[in-house]
Amino acid sequence: MHSDITQPILQIFTMELKSILGYLQNKTILVTGATGFLGMVFVEKILRVQPDVKKLYLLLRASDTKSATDRMHNQIIGKELFSVLREKWGAEFDSFIAKKVVAVPGDVTFDDLGVKEFKLREDMCTDIEIILNSAGTTNFDERYDIALSVNTFGVQHVLSFAKKCLKLEMLLHVSTAYVCGERDGLILEDSSSFVLDSSCMDEMEKEITKFDFKVQEKNLVEEKLNELKAQNATEEVITTTMKDFGIERAKLYGWPNTYVFTKAMGEILLRHSKDNLSVVIIRPTVVTSTYKEPFPGWVQGFRTIDSVIAGYCKGKVTCLLVDPMSVFDMVPVDMVVNSITVAMVANANKSSSIIYHVGSSMRNPINFLNIHSFSFRYFTKNPWIDKDGKPVKVGKLKFFKTMATFRMYMQIRFMLPLEGLKFVSKAFGEYFQDLYVNYNQKLKLVMRLVELYEPYMLFKGIFDDNNAEDLRRITRESFVESETFNFDPKCIDWEDYIMHTHIPGLQKHVMLKR
């Protein structure tokens, strides 16, 4: 009797032992946002570890197929990120790419993802089994009309397209952990992690459920743009006004900036309209350079803290608005891609949705003081060489824990001398006017950036990742390639990573190219 019971259990357990690569074999995947940091690393990983994937459709903003293909080769396949894959395939690399990857001209801001060619659209709807939506604008200070069209309504267009895909097994949407707004304490992997003002959140959820929200925000944007056009506003004025309008709308609902507000709305639309689709939402924290794959230290563009590191090593950043003991949650991009891939496999064909926080603050936290200490040691030993060929000597940063103390410092250190320059300029017949205007503009830009980044530099939240930890456990217990798809932040030695991987990678791939 005992053996009769255990036999089926053993068979079920054996059936549960799966292969991630086996699942990906012969699969057709649509990737939006493939020119972005995360999307590009995902494309490279899939092609490198599972060359028997059937097809990758890459949705790229382009006027036609030729332009899309050119963009794919110039902005994705031609990057150094693909050097390992290129070396692996040698002379057959181009034919391998041509066979496996299709550049699709389109745009998430349009119905049917802007795919105009009927036959191509039909093939996509027939073949696609997995969709990775990593399209998005990550600019905190984006124009509201642009951020809304990509981060919010773009999600709805992807979802509508997903519902037309006959074989779809999974839609995975990349959001951000910071949809939580300005929060303290433990932030859970669910919709309750959204902003503190729950009354605003409840109201917004109700509006979105009735689709009033979609109409309301679109109408507000159109009204604002029509108003500006009626005033014959310049493009510069329109841009500035729409940026301010985005911040205003975000703060009205309790979010600090346009980016996280529009990403949060995208999540809400997705959850409310998904029907029976299998949906996964990945919320990464600050995504940084590759930890290991395809090689350590690859990065594209500055990733939040990187702008500070670059300014610091060049002697341009001497003070910072930050609590040095605050945890800064960052995670290498290849780990995020591994979590995305495993989440796809583990949740395929389940008519449910789940949210995963992918970060380090819960399992392996690092604070700003440590980041600064590692940066100071690195640039003391390996100083930046300025345009005159002289090494730049770095010092210890001044930290300001509150906006009030930072403003006071800026007032004494920069604003008062600037007012003095203005007075002298007037006394000398506006002789120093150009110099004053230049410095004043720079100071205004610095203060705007500081205000935009304040919620993150003074952030006190810790991202709970129990769902992600469960996924890691399932990976270890149920999949044969757990090491190939590792995304456990506990394995990161932050000192080694920052000093020997991240900063050298930043110098090589971003700073030296500027």
Q: Where are the alpha helices (DSSP H) in 31-64?
A: 37-49
Q: Which residues pair with 31 in a beta bridge?
A: 58, 132
Concatenating the DSSP letter of every residue in 128-192 gives --EEEE------TT--HHHHIIIIIHHHHHHHHHHTT-TT--EEEEE--GGGG-S-EEEE-SSGG
Among residues 57, 263, 436, 456, the one annotated as catalytic is 263
Concatenating the DSSP letter of every residue in 330-367 gives EEEHHHHHHHHHHHHHHHTT-S-EEEEEE-STTTS--B
Q: For residues 477 and 17, is the Cβ–Cβ distance under 8 A?
A: no
Phi-psi region of 314 (alpha: psi -120 to 50; beta: other; left: phi over 0): alpha
* DSSP single-letter state for residue 385: B
Question: Strand 28-32 and strand 130-133: pairing?
Answer: parallel
280: Cβ contacts below 8 Å, ≥ 6 apart: 170, 171, 172, 173, 343, 344, 347, 353, 354, 355, 356
* DSSP single-letter state for residue 485: T
Among residues 144, 259, 378, 453, the one annotated as catalytic is 259
CA angle centred on 22, ends 16 and 25, rounded to 5° = 145
Closest to 493 (Cα-Cα) out of 366, 304, 337:
366
Q: For residues 259 and 142, is the Cβ–Cβ distance under 8 A?
A: yes
Q: For residues 418 and 398, is the Cβ–Cβ distance under 8 A?
A: no
Instruction: Write 240-244 long-range contacts (CB < 8 A, 24+).
Output: 242/143, 242/144, 242/145, 242/146, 243/141, 243/142, 243/143, 243/144
Paired tokens of 295: 């090689």
Q: For residues 328 and 367, is the Cβ–Cβ distance under 8 A?
A: yes
Closest to 176 (Cα-Cα) out of 187, 162, 163, 165:
187
Dihedral, CA of residue 465, residue 467, residue 468 and residue 474, to nearest 10: 150
Active-site residue, 456 included: no
Active-site residue, 206 included: no
Paired tokens of 257: 């900036």
Q: What is the spatial distance between Cα 124 and Cα 113, in angstroms, rounded to a whole number?
A: 11
* φ, ψ (nearest 5 deg) of residue 70: -60, -45
* φ, ψ (nearest 5 deg) of residue 224: -65, -45
State the catalytic residues: 259, 263
